[in-house]
Structure 1
Amino acid sequence: MKNIFKIFRFMIPYKGRIIAFVILSILLAIFSVASITAVLPFLQILFKQSPVVASAVPWEMNATAIVHNISYLISQYIVTHGQIATLGLLSIMVALLFLFKNLFEYLTSFVMIPLRNGVVMDIRMTLYRKVLDLPLGYYSNERKGDILSKMTNDVNEIEVSVVRSLELLFKDPLLLIAYLTTLIIISPQLSLFVLGMIFVAVFVLGRIGRSLRKSSYRAQNSLGDILSAIEETLSGLRVVKGFTAEKHMTNKFKGLNDKYRKLCNHASWRRDLASPLSEFLGVGVVVAVLMYGGRLVLMDNPTLSAAALITYLAAFSQLLNPAKRFSQSYYNIVKGMASADRIDAILSAENPIKDGPNAQPIAEFKSKIEFRNVSFKYIDDWVLRNVSFTVEKGKTIALVGQSGSGKSTIVDLLPRFWDVQEGEILVDGVNVKSYKLRELRSLMGIVNQEPILFNDTYFNNIAFSVEGATADDVEAAAKVANAHEFISTSPEGYQTVVGDRGSKMSGGQRQRVSIARAVLANPPILILDEATSALDTESEKIVQSALDNLMQNRTSIVIAHRLSTIKNADEILVINEGEIAERGTHDELLAKKGIYHKLHTMQQ
């Protein structure tokens, strides 16, 4: 239950509403007790058991003085106006007291609704910021579907099961204390018997809830599996249909769905058992109270009057509702804590890639990038070993080699998507770990092999992250990227929505929009990760022309699959099994008759 305190911290900004809620809850408890105890003098008059109190005592904040003086006022009113008029007055008072009780009941909910919704919004926003903040390495071990499940279903479960129940955990204990105090004042002997019965009931309910949290945790994990399967199916729908694997995928999903159904059944059975069982136990306690209380009324020397017993039962019946809600809240919180555990797994995840305590700013790139004896591994095996090279400002360095040789890892280390284990990477002579991360990355523009576009307009995709970009700025960037022509002929021009991941465009068009985005950002350092390898020959020429425009007067690191695109690079590094096997210009490497020459010959 320790994670419940992590939910509490999201309530701190709403402390004003919490204070108002507590005050209203106290008023609710006062009027709840008053509305029930006002029935006692009504019944005493009805049964002709009303005590005659001849004098008042000084008002004090204790039950004896309050009851005595109220009885005195009622006695005086009976003497002056008669019993029927007094009954009428008491009836109006009881009605008013119940009116105020229900008014404060509503007001407690009214002030808590913004808190509930606000806390859920804050949790979701904190999760989203954390998702953006965590390094890429975190997502290598996580499934997107499970993360989506945590950000949607688990957050909703927190709102339904925890935040709503916390409201009851504040309010219901006050009501329970108020009603129990009233019961003790009416009959201490009967109340002692009732408390014993309640403890038995609570013990029975507690036994049932022990496995609920574990069942709920498994159910939420299973839902994450389902969402992951859905996400994978939608992403790979072309492959599924192409290989006629619909039946295979359906059977796989059916198994996950059936597992989730069974887990939900078990969790729901345990949760829903709380309400009928608590009601049955409550009825059992009421029957026991009737038997024991009736004995106190009917014995030769009665210690309880019939009117007091009826009032006692009325107060006890009001006690049952908050007690029942309290037990239900406990079950809901236990169930919701499973979601809190899953959410906390993201919130408590450590981000090793962050600004150091004395991180320094970097406003511009001045001289060179240097990889100095860089070695790196993701888990156990070294992916890079003693990689060293320098990129002077304004020069273009190309990385070539077989798939898996470590090319993409090299360019991922520069913007600190990962941090090196050995060696160092320097920008203008300073280790990249010493710079402010945001400012370091703002110096770089990245164009990937698979262009990443958002389901938004051409304009917003190109102007992505550039504040205050004008229509002229976006259009100029599109012209440099050879994208203006096809964008301007779209149905709504630059305001045309590109579809999910740019699904309404060809691969070459998507890549040119991606290049336009990099042009508008105007970074001094450019990273091109096989930007043309997935394109046909015609599209490659158009995109390569756009890339040539983009690379002018910039420092560029290019990963190339097609060697024809890097003939003019200032230096080419041939990466083989995580090491630099060869280096030189295009002509120098061909003359060596080595790995580069072999790759070039194969492509010819």
Structure 2
Amino acid sequence: MKKFFGLLKYLIPYKWHVVVNVLSNVLAAIFSLFSLAMLIPFLQLLFGTVPLVEVEPEFTLSAKGMSNYLNYFLSSLIKNHDQATALLFVIVLVVIASFLKNMFTYLSLFYLAPIRTGVLKDMRNKLYRKVVELPLGFFTEEKKGDIISKMTNDVNEIEVSIIRSLEMFFRDPIIIIIHLIGLIYISPQLTLFVLIILPLTGGVIGRVGKNLRKTSFKGQTKMGIILTIIEETIGGLRVIKAFNAEKKVIARFESMNSLYTLLMKKMWRRRDLASPLSEFLGTIVVVLVLWYGGNLIFDGKGNLGPEALIAYIGIFYMIINPAKSFSNAYYNVLKGMASADRIDSILVAENPIKVKPGAKKIESFNNEIEYRNVSFRYENDWVLKNINLTIKKGMTVALVGQSGSGKSTMVDLLPRFWDVTEGEILIDGVNIKDLDMVSLRNLMGNVNQEPILFNDNFFNNIAFGVENAKMEDVIAAAKIANAHDFIMATPNGYHTNVGDRGSKLSGGQRQRVSIARAILKNPPIMILDEATSALDTESERLVQDAIDNLMKHRTSLVIAHRLSTIRKADLICVLHEGEIVERGKHEELLAINGYYSKLHSMQLH
């Protein structure tokens, strides 16, 4: 239960709601006990088993003192009026106590509602913040569908299994303790007997729920895999249909779905056993209490009268239901803790890319970027080896080479999407690890080979990451990116939705919107992963014009797939197996007749 108590830290912002809830539950339990305790004088009056109290006792704030004074008051009512009047007085007290009990019960639930909803809100916020903060490397190891499952299904499971059980955890122990005090007062011997047999029944319930958490964890993991399959299927539907692989993917999905169903069936059967089992065990306990209590009366032991035994059973029944719901809550918590374990895998994940305390803010780029003896590896194999490169302000540097040569990794190190394994990267002579991350990334703009757009309108996609962007600035950026005309041709212009990942646009249009986004940010350093490699000739010309406009008066680091697009670059670096094997201008590299010349001739043929 250590992890369950760890979840209670989410209650700290709602501590006063918790205090009011607990106090309301205490008062509700006290008034519930009082209304049941009134059974004893009611039955004594009815059966006439206790003589009338003639002498007024001293009133004290104790159970015995109040009981003696109540007996005296009822005796006075009987003497001065009749038994019916005394009975009416008892009934009025019971009704008032019942009203107060239910009023405080509602008040406890009233203050529990913001706790239940607020804890889930805070949990979702914390998860989302963590996902945004984690480095790109975390998501290469994790399945996207499983992460979505943790943020949706597992959070919902915590709501159903744990948060809804808070009511029982805040209320039921209080009810049990207060009513137990009443039982001890009525008959210590009988209560001792109850306290011996109740843990035995609790042990039986505990054994049934032993494997519930493990089974639930497996089930939630399988649901993560199912969501991954669904996400991959939707994303790859074109390929599935093109290769007639419908039956294959359906069989894969149905197989995983069957495994999930078997696990869930096992879990629900075990969990659903809790209610009937606890009810049956409760009945056995009540029967044993009646048997033992009856024997105490027959033997004249324990100062227990028939009316006290009836009241005792009534109060004991008020413990049975909370104990039963508490056992159900225990099962729910075990099931929910499996989801808490899965959510923790995100929350406790460490971000290796740290911002140093007192990191320096960098407001401008003035001189040069330097890669100094930079080496990098993801796990075992080196991706970059001893890279040395100086990029002066205003230069356009192109990186070329075969797939897997380390081009993308090299540019990803500059904004610290990854950190170098060895060596250092400096901007204006300062190691980027000593710079504030936000100000470092503010110096850079990115245009990727695969344009990333959000399911929003043109304005918000172009203004993404720019605070308080004005419409005229967005339009100016779109015009420079050759995007204004086709945006204005849409039904709502800049307020037209672009669809999921820009699905309503062509590849060239998506790329020009992403270029407009980079232009609006207006960074001094541009990182471009060749944006024209997957476009038709006309789109390529429009996008290339937009890129040329984007690169004017900026320092640019370009990953080039088509060598024709980087003829004018100030420096071309050829990467091969993680090393810069050639560097120079286009004509100089052709004259060397090495790697670059080979790549160039391959693209010409």
Structure 1 length-normalised TM: 0.98
Report the AA paired with residue 434 of structure 1.
Answer: D
Distance in 1 of aligned mates of 2:346 and 2:114: 25
Distance in 2 of aligned mates of 1:89 and 1:60: 21
Residue 434 of structure 1 aligns with which residue?
434
Distance in 1 of aligned mates of 2:453 and 2:307: 76
Distance in 1 of aligned mates of 2:520 and 2:305: 87
Residue 503 of structure 2 aligns with which residue?
503
Report the AA paired with residue 260 of structure 2.
Answer: Y
Say which SS state the counterpart of residue 527 (structure 1) adopts.
Answer: strand
Say whether residues 1:572 and 2:556 are aligned partners. Answer: no
Distance in 1 of aligned mates of 2:89 and 2:449: 84
Residue 167 of structure 1 aligns with which residue?
167
Report the AA paired with residue 571 of structure 1.
Answer: L
Residue 132 of structure 1 aligns with which residue?
132
Residue 408 of structure 1 aligns with which residue?
408
CA contact (8 A) 2:400 2:574 kept: yes
Farther off after superposition, 330-339 or 452-461: 330-339
CA contact (8 A) 2:154 2:339 kept: yes
Residue 304 of structure 1 aligns with which residue?
304
Say which SS state the counterpart of residue 402 (structure 2) adopts.
Answer: coil
CA contact (8 A) 2:57 2:72 kept: no
Report the AA paired with residue 234 of structure 1.
Answer: I
Distance in 1 of aligned mates of 2:457 and 2:28: 53
CA contact (8 A) 2:396 2:570 kept: yes
Residue 397 of structure 2 aligns with which residue?
397
Residue 586 of structure 1 aligns with which residue?
586
Alignment of structure 1 residues 6-405 onto 2, 5 Å = 6-299=6-299, 303-405=303-405
Distance in 1 of aligned mates of 2:221 and 2:12: 29
Say whether residues 1:420 and 2:423 are aligned partners. Answer: no
Deviation at 1:295, TM superposition (A): 2.4
Farther off after superposition, 297-306 or 270-279: 297-306
Deviation at 1:16, TM superposition (A): 1.1
Structure 2 unaligned residues grouped into runs of 5+? none
Report the AA paired with residue 112 of structure 2.
Answer: M
CA contact (8 A) 2:458 2:495 kept: yes
Deviation at 1:50, TM superposition (A): 3.7
Distance in 1 of aligned mates of 2:300 and 2:133: 77
CA contact (8 A) 2:394 2:555 kept: yes
CA contact (8 A) 1:51 1:71 kept: no
Q: Deviations over 1:478-534 (max 9, x none)?
A: 000000010000011111100000000110000000000001111110000121111
Note closer, same or farther for the CA distance 1:317–1:586 as it changes in structure 2 (3 Å cut).
same
Q: Deviations over 1:59-115 (max 9, x none)?
A: 334322122122222222222221011111211221221121111111111100111
Note closer, same or farther for the CA distance 1:258–1:523 as it changes in structure 2 (3 Å cut).
same
Alignment of structure 1 residues 441-590 onto 2, 5 Å = 441-590=441-590
Say which SS state the counterpart of residue 172 (structure 1) adopts.
Answer: helix
Distance in 2 of aligned mates of 1:573 and 1:242: 39
Farther off after superposition, 493-502 or 238-247: 238-247
CA contact (8 A) 2:383 2:406 kept: yes
Say which SS state the counterpart of residue 151 (structure 2) adopts.
Answer: helix
Q: Deviations over 1:243-299 (max 9, x none)?
A: 111111110000111111111111111211111100100011111122222223334
Note closer, same or farther for the CA distance 1:62–1:476 as it changes in structure 2 (3 Å cut).
same
Q: Deviations over 1:124-155 (max 9, x none)?
A: 00000000000011111101111111111111
Q: Deviations over 1:439-464 (max 9, x none)?
A: 10111000000000000001110010
Distance in 2 of aligned mates of 1:242 and 1:80: 98
Report the AA paired with residue 272 of structure 1.
Answer: D
Distance in 2 of aligned mates of 1:334 and 1:576: 54
Report the AA paired with residue 86 of structure 1.
Answer: A
Aligned length: 604
Structure 1 unaligned residues grouped into runs of 5+? none
Deviation at 1:354, TM superposition (A): 2.1
Say which SS state the counterpart of residue 391 (structure 1) adopts.
Answer: strand
Report the AA paired with residue 3 of structure 1.
Answer: K
Deviation at 1:51, TM superposition (A): 3.8
Report the AA paired with residue 396 of structure 1.
Answer: T
Distance in 2 of aligned mates of 1:104 and 1:468: 49
CA contact (8 A) 2:189 2:302 kept: no
Report the AA paired with residue 272 of structure 2.
Answer: D
Identity across matched positions, percent:
57
Note closer, same or farther for the CA distance 1:548–1:302 as it changes in structure 2 (3 Å cut).
closer
Deviation at 1:6, TM superposition (A): 2.7
Report the AA paired with residue 600 of structure 1.
Answer: H
Distance in 2 of aligned mates of 1:285 and 1:51: 33
Deviation at 1:220, TM superposition (A): 0.9
Distance in 2 of aligned mates of 1:51 and 1:516: 96
CA contact (8 A) 2:150 2:343 kept: yes
Distance in 2 of aligned mates of 1:194 and 1:378: 62
CA contact (8 A) 2:216 2:267 kept: yes
CA contact (8 A) 1:411 1:527 kept: yes
Distance in 2 of aligned mates of 1:27 and 1:300: 35
Distance in 1 of aligned mates of 2:462 and 2:82: 86
Farther off after superposition, 340-349 or 481-490: 340-349
Deviation at 1:300, TM superposition (A): 6.1
Distance in 2 of aligned mates of 1:6 and 1:494: 47
Q: Deviations over 1:334-361 (max 9, x none)?
A: 1111111111111111111121123111
Q: Deviations over 1:23-48 (max 9, x none)?
A: 11111111111111112211111112
Deviation at 1:376, TM superposition (A): 0.3
Deviation at 1:302, TM superposition (A): 8.2
Distance in 2 of aligned mates of 1:59 and 1:13: 43
Note closer, same or farther for the CA distance 1:182–1:371 as it changes in structure 2 (3 Å cut).
same
CA contact (8 A) 1:487 1:494 kept: yes
RMSD: 1.2
Deviation at 1:569, TM superposition (A): 0.4
Farther off after superposition, 89-98 or 428-437: 89-98
Distance in 1 of aligned mates of 2:359 and 2:378: 25
Farther off after superposition, 47-56 or 566-575: 47-56
Distance in 1 of aligned mates of 2:81 and 2:363: 89
CA contact (8 A) 2:187 2:302 kept: no
Say which SS state the counterpart of residue 446 (structure 1) adopts.
Answer: strand
Note closer, same or farther for the CA distance 1:51–1:359 as it changes in structure 2 (3 Å cut).
farther
Report the AA paired with residue 456 of structure 1.
Answer: D
Note closer, same or farther for the CA distance 1:557–1:300 as it changes in structure 2 (3 Å cut).
closer
Say which SS state the counterpart of residue 360 (structure 1) adopts.
Answer: coil
Report the AA paired with residue 158 of structure 1.
Answer: I
Report the AA paired with residue 469 of structure 2.
Answer: A
Distance in 1 of aligned mates of 2:583 and 2:242: 42
CA contact (8 A) 2:444 2:527 kept: yes
Deviation at 1:549, TM superposition (A): 0.3
Q: Deviations over 1:175-215 (max 9, x none)?
A: 10111111111112221222222121111111111111111
Distance in 1 of aligned mates of 2:452 and 2:155: 28
